[in-house]
Structure 1
Amino acid sequence: MTAKLKIVEIARLKKSCRCCEKIVQPPAPTRPVQRGMAGPGLLAHILVSKFDDHLPLYRQGEILARLGADIPRSTLIDWCGQAVSTLRPLSALIKAEIMCSDRLHVDDTPIKVLDPSRRTAESRGVKEGRIWVYVRDDRPWGGSDPPGAAYYFSPDRKGEHPQAHLADFKGVLQADAYGGFKKLYEAGTDEAPRIREAACWAHLRRDFHDVWKMTGSPIAREALDRIGALYDIERDIAAQSAEVRRRVRQEHSKPRVEAFRAWCESQLPRIPGKGDLAKAMRYALNRWHAFTLFLEDGRVAIDNNAAERAIRPVAIGRKNYLFAGSDAGGDIIADAMTIIETAKFAGLDPQAYLADVLTRINDHPARKLDELTPWSWRPPSEQRSRAA
């Protein structure tokens, strides 16, 4: 089916009373973008094309021109920013809901940001910002909280940013060994840490795999086999209850994990201390409490793949649209990704979802904004049937 654009003309008829000569006219419908001519369907298409299909706005402009709509790139940028601004209360609500969880996955990735203060005759002036993602996904153990992803932008990778994101969080944080998280794991005045660290066995496995691929080391191969046995157990308990997962892990995974630790300790004196193989083993041993937390709690995953999958679209998009135009542009990316990726987690078509939300959000009561979240939203057909 060939894509089409259409112009919607809105007729607002004026009527006058012959007796009192009063003139009445229905109000103009609310637009998703103030003083903008783009309808909700086109805006949804632009947002999904950019942030889910990773199509830069200049390419979208070329496609729209072939369809008969010559829209300047500057206008597309303006529409994109205004549409996300309209959706920002919804993004904030989604983030607040996700960050209330007591278990989160987190990952981050760099993104280039234009910075006029760094501009020179030879350079446009670019700094390295950061996109962070926090994922709630209780599906592996049948939890009742719906999955979602909250994205945040920061102008750098200082630890103060995740510390601010997680200021009210209490629970298990599954992450890599980024030093900026260290302060979060420190015990408070009551000697009980507010946040417990869970490590990622997939990250550790990749370290051993890189060594094995480069050198063919039989020790690295054995490490892969030992970790692989843990994943065999995880596949068997997928979608089981948290208690079943904990019980099976205690019975079958824990002995293998303890044997892996003893094996690493026995191998370290026999291999070069500065080599990558030794670094991988020390990485595991130095954070052993984090690598074994999944044995104690069936709700905790064995790895951080949920966050790594959620951050991948940003990395793909980065290769296409290259950079954010400003820090405000980074915030736009984060808010758009929060809504689109959470809609996908909910099994929705993000374009159909956004088209309907952009149609309704400006007239929707603020106290009922939760009705527009991906977890509560219903297609227009269901809305009509309920109203009937």
Structure 2
Amino acid sequence: QEPAPSRPIPRSMAGPGLLAYILTSKFDDHVPLYRQHEIFERMGADIPDTTLVDWCGAAMRTLTPLIERIEADIMASDILHADDTPIRVLDRSAKSKGLGKGVKQGRIWTYVRDQRPWSGAAPPGTVYYFSPDRKGEHPRKHLKNSAGILQADAYTGFKALYETRADGSAQFREAACWAHLRRDFHDIWTGTKSEIAKEALDRIGQFYDIEREIKGLSADERHAVRQQKTKPKAEAFHAWAEAQLTRIPGKGDLAKAFRYGLSRWLSFTLFLNDGRVAIDNNAAERGMRPIGVGRRNWLFAGSDTGGETLARAMTIIETAKMNALDPQAYLADVLSRIHDHKINRLHELLPWNWTPASTVNCKAA
């Protein structure tokens, strides 16, 4: 008799299909575990909240070798988008400040590889990390083995990554985000109806018109078009912005927006010289959207360990979705196979390489 297949969680009654449903419901559909408990109870299955928590943590430990492969592959990319966002974390020490007794503010970081806009060869994916605070040591640790181009906001914690070394090199070149700058002018326009802010929006909008035309073209083609069409408009924007600073109050929000762009002009124009670089950091901001949706449902992570579980689950689920997979079907199949899969062939289960077991078995037959 053939030995029974390994269970996703040793000595547990939870099967791969059930675990995949629970993980997808919690981390993709954002249904808190206490609501899932109520749903299961209506179906006649009494699964305590504590058991669901244990299953989520154990399933993530089972998937850890695969998640680590995803992380290693994506973080080795020479172009990354980065962003972070706060989450509330239950603080059982009850010493937290500012968010109410027993609640502190943690952080979720994301690093995204998305070469689809320039038809790059590497598959898309996103890595999430949790940290208990927003100290700059966290992104430096995440990116310690990475190098190339980093597209992010102006957070000071990234500054050390751009600094010139003794040999004249730097770990990363900085690519700034035009959407971020545009948002500053948009807020000024909606609040004050400033004609100067409106003109800034119109000028930046012309850059985006060109970007829509070149989406999906090769890096070389994008570079050629940007040099021909966008570069003259960018140079005109720079000259116009400097002229506006001589006409407007120096301490206002409008002047602050202009100075933000002009002081980081090399970073804002890096995309003109490299067709692989995006005009903005929207890829990372899209990666943060599920966290924003989730916060309105689960309100807070139960602990730092819960924040780490959230980050690992989001890594595998969001990467699966970026590769056009149904995350529940993918997780169910992987959880059913991972313990019996040869470790030197684990790359076959990565989202961009995955073939369902049913398909593999049909080919073998």
TM-score by length of 1: 0.91
Between Structure 1 and Structure 2, whose CA radius of gyration is higher? 1
Q: Which amino acid aligns with 2:140?
A: Q
Separation of aligned partners in 2, 1:256 and 1:345: 33
Q: Does 1:340 align with 2:300?
A: no
Report if the CA contact (8 A) 1:198-1:293 is conserved: yes
Report if the CA contact (8 A) 1:133-1:311 is conserved: yes
CA RMSD of aligned residues (A): 1.4
Deviations 1:150-193 (A, max 9, x none): 11111110000100111111100000000000000001121111
How far apart are 1:338 and its partner, in Å?
Answer: 0.4
Separation of aligned partners in 2, 1:124 and 1:182: 33
1:217-228 aligned at under 5 Å gives the runs 217-228=194-205
Separation of aligned partners in 1, 2:2 and 2:214: 60
Report what 2:52 is aligned to.
76
Pick one of 81, 87, 91 that aligns with 1:115.
Answer: 91
Q: 1:274 to 1:359 in 2, by over 3 A?
A: same
Report what 2:283 is aligned to.
306
Pick one of 295, 305, 311 that aligns with 1:318.
Answer: 295
Pick one of 354, 358, 361 that aligns with 1:377.
Answer: 354
Q: Does 1:288 align with 2:288?
A: no
Q: 1:85 to 1:295 in 2, by over 3 A?
A: same
TM-score by length of 2: 0.97
Pick one of 210, 213, 223 that aligns with 1:246.
Answer: 223
Q: Which amino acid aligns with 1:75?
A: T
Pick one of 57, 69, 86 that aligns with 2:33.
Answer: 57
1:26-45 aligned at under 5 Å gives the runs 27-45=3-21
How far apart are 1:27 and its partner, in Å?
Answer: 4.3
Q: Which amino acid aligns with 1:157?
A: R
Separation of aligned partners in 2, 1:233 and 1:205: 16
How far apart are 1:29 and its partner, in Å?
Answer: 3.3
Separation of aligned partners in 2, 1:385 and 1:220: 61
Pick one of 179, 185, 203 that aligns with 1:202.
Answer: 179
Pick one of 187, 208, 217 that aligns with 1:231.
Answer: 208
Q: Which amino acid aligns with 1:36?
A: S
1:125-164 aligned at under 5 Å gives the runs 125-164=102-141
Report if the CA contact (8 A) 1:44-1:352 is conserved: yes
How many aligned residue pairs are there?
363
92-101 vs 269-278, which moves further: 269-278
95-104 vs 323-332, which moves further: 323-332
Separation of aligned partners in 2, 1:367 and 1:156: 36
Percent identical pairs in the alignment equals 66
Report if the CA contact (8 A) 1:114-1:127 is conserved: yes
Runs of 4+ in structure 1 deviating by more than 4 angstroms, as ranges, are 25-28
How far apart are 1:385 and its partner, in Å?
Answer: 2.3
How far apart are 1:115 and its partner, in Å?
Answer: 1.9
Mark the runs of 5 or more structure 2 residues left unpaired by the alignment: none
How far apart are 1:313 and its partner, in Å?
Answer: 0.3
Deviations 1:34-53 (A, max 9, x none): 22211110100110111111
